[in-house]
Structure 1
Amino acid sequence: MGLPRPISEIKKDLDSFVGSRIRLKANRGRNRIIESEGVLESTYPNIFVIKINERKVERRISYSYADILTETVELFVCNNGEEEIKIANVND
């Protein structure tokens, strides 16, 4: 297991994937886990925004980079169908 990455590095990684399809797995507490797909819409200094289209409704969800660091949120970037890249909080 490696050392935790600084939040600035996690932000840099996400900056390179703005506009990409993202698969999201978020732990909302009390055994509530949300899994959905959307597009990484934008990144800001403290948060990032994912646009999700579900049941003909467009919503935007924002999370902080600390959520990735604490593994409350797991992000997978969808590449050409089957291949996925996990945005992780540790150096491999």
Structure 2
Amino acid sequence: MGRNALSEIKCTLDGYIGYKIRLKANSGRRKTIERTGILEETYPSVFIVKLDEDQHAFKRVSYSYADILTESVELTILNNDNELVPVKYVKETQ
């Protein structure tokens, strides 16, 4: 039995807590918001990003894993090797 897509996205993000990320969120009607921050916490339904304080009016934002699945939010993680790692759900083919 295959794992749930949302839990797979959560498990992927669990490994990147504390890493710097860049997110691009679709806010409707051709509006796209780009933010940078630190992946602070993951919960069963949402994840929290602590934003860079000098660039944004808000301190934290939260998004659901379904936002990544539906591609309304795009996450890119800057790992320890300074590589950009996109986070998205890729359906396995058998």
Matched residues in 2 for 1:35 and 1:81: separation? 22
State the identity as a percent. 50
Q: Which runs of 5+ in 2 are unaligned?
A: none
> Which one has the bigger strand percentage?
1
Q: TM-score, normalised by structure 2?
A: 0.83
Give the match's secondary structure for 1:76.
strand
Q: Does 1:24 align with 2:42?
A: no
Write out per-residue CA displacement over residues 45-80 of structure 1, whole angstroms, 9 at most, x where no aligned residue: 000000102437551000000000000000000124
| Contact residue 71 and residue 89 of structure 1 kept, 8 A | no
- Paired residue total: 88
What secondary structure does 2:41 align onto?
Answer: strand
* CA shift in 2, pair 1:80/1:18, >3 Å: closer
Q: Which runs of 5+ in 1 are unaligned?
A: none
TM-score normalised by L of structure 1: 0.85
Q: RCO higher in 1 or 2 (8 Å CA, sep ≥ 6)?
A: 1
1:55 and 2:41 correspond? no
